Amino acid sequence: MTLADEVVSSFDGAASPRLAELMTGLVRHLHAFVAEVGLTEQEWTTAIDFLTRTGQKCDEKRQEFILLSDVLGASMAVINANHPTNGAATESTVLGPFFVPDAPEFGPDADISAGAPGTPCHVRGTVRTPTGAPIPNADIDVWQSDETGHYDVQYADLDHPRARARLHTDAAGRFSFHTIHPEAYPIPTDGPVGELLNAASRSPMRPAHIHFKITAPGYHPLTTHLFAAGDPHLSSDAVFGVKPSLIVNFSSHQATYDFTLAELPPTP
């Protein structure tokens, strides 16, 4: 019996079959990785230190582990495995580290920028079913960075949300809001993830985008972005989140997009 087999068998008594499946799969892949690359003790110590510092960088406003998952492509791999659209719904992408629940609510066509610096922009669209029917009163969380590439939560002296809102679709499934034009920006590089990108000579840039998180009873939740067409970083997104179907024109400082939510299966 190999060491990996011995560790795997230690989970035979797990109360949850799914836990046993997850842990045995993790153990086998981890041991195979150690053998494949000939991992040294110093490298393992360095990896543990890196993960420790990643956790220490997390707080109520920043999630460095999400950022690490994003730059390794793990976030998108999980999203792709769990949100297949089969061409019938809007594609999902990463949540990112700067989502904040309980954003301030705004009515139709409101200005959500709240003083965030940037070029004014108007965004509108609809939320629909796969057959094109409108979804009324869908909840829409929206958040984005300002023209300097910073989200509101990154400003230590800012005491109110900016360029962040919670909206609702009307009876015809429509939404609209005024904000600022999205701009490309680097992901935070002042922590362990930044060290990793620098060591790998990788760019930290994300193409210009606005985040959307849309929920409605009876439909799968959707977390996605709208990316600005023509951005030079579309083909080299640091977190691998760009999908062609999510690229839109922000011409004349306006953007229009129609989201489609996938229906949940009927409850047995």
Residues of the chain where predicted confidence (pLDDT) is lower than 70: 268
> Which residues, in sequence order, are CB contacts of 225 under 8 Å at separation 6+?
93, 94, 209, 210, 211, 212, 241, 246
Q: What is the pLDDT of residue 96?
A: 83
The CATH T-level fold of domain 71-260 is Protocatechuate 3,4-Dioxygenase, subunit A (2.60.130)
pLDDT by residue (tens digit) across 11-31? 999 999 999 999 999 999 999
In the chain, beta strands by DSSP E: 110-111, 120-128, 139-143, 164-168, 174-180, 185-186, 205-206, 209-215, 222-228, 247-248, 254-260
Whole-number average pLDDT of the chain? 95
Q: What is the pLDDT of residue 85?
A: 85
Parse the chain into domains and list their residue ranges: 3-56, 71-260
This prediction's pTM: 0.90
pLDDT by residue (tens digit) across 212-245? 999 999 999 999 999 999 999 999 999 999 999 9
